[in-house]
């Protein structure tokens, strides 16, 4: 065997890719069949059965929960200060003169 054959990467996932392609083709075929009218889904209206409930009560639930206190307090923290200074720099200007 040559060295080139040994260094070629192996391909994997061929069966999984084939299954995905088959599923995509099947979904597209169903969409095309419905769009052209070859396949038609229809249903008849229905109704739920009438059920009578006599008596009964909702369950009672007791829950013990903790408490949360929300508030503020004063604390010293380091805060960066930004200082600006005025400096004279040369900037471009533009002047427009009206035509005579």
pLDDT at 12 over 80: no
Q: pTM surpassing 0.75?
A: no
- DSSP for 36-92, please give it: HTSS--------PPP----S--PPP--------------------------------
What pLDDT sits at residue 97? 83
Give 95's pLDDT tier (boundaries 50, 70, 90).
confident
pLDDT of 67-83, one tens digit each?
888 999 999 999 999 99
Q: What is the pLDDT of residues 17-55, one digit of tens each?
A: 899 999 999 999 999 988 888 888 777 888 888 888 888
């Amino acid at each position: 065997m040559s060295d080139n054959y040994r260094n070629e990467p192996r391909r994997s996932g061929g069966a999984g890719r084939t299954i995905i392609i088959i599923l995509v083709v099947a979904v597209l075929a169903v969409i095309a069949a419905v769009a052209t009218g070859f396949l038609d889904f229809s249903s008849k209206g229905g109704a739920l059965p009438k059920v009578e409930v006599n008596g009964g009560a909702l369950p009672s639930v007791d829950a013990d929960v903790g408490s949360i206190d929300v508030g503020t307090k004063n604390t010293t923290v380091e805060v960066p200060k930004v200082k600006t200074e005025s400096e004279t720099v040369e900037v471009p200007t533009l002047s427009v003169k009206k035509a005579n």
